[in-house]
Structure 1
């Protein structure tokens, strides 16, 4: 609940994705704890953008950086597996 209230312009969907849970489960928790809104954090500007405080922006960028590093590790692992499979199958072709 604190995460929902402290994240500017956060949506239930966005927070649920960040936490790796379903939007419905998060909505249930938020409703039980008192806040039933879908735009949890601050108010979006008229152009649909969300004004971030410096601290919120740093937190968001750090989370994005962590997610990108994890994605890079996953892609490197997949690449290594494919390389090993290609070497294995290249050695199996004795026609």
Structure 2
């Protein structure tokens, strides 16, 4: 059985939650892990029953449509930056395990 660092597990779950249209199998394939492994991590992380939400999503929407659009765009940029960081860490982690 392969051991994954806790930060990698947390990043994988965060990546899954940041991709609303993606299945766990798609995210697991992107990370190079088994879908069942990712599903177990998601289940363990979501046990309280509350979905993971960012601080931006937790804010109450207020103001004009331009402000709402800017907030949505900032949220999307944050999601993309988080995904990029998770994928960078995953690549670094798996590159370290490769024995060429």
Q: Which range, TM-score by smaller chain? A: 0.3 to 0.5
TM-score, structure 1 length as denominator? 0.38
Larger radius of gyration: 1
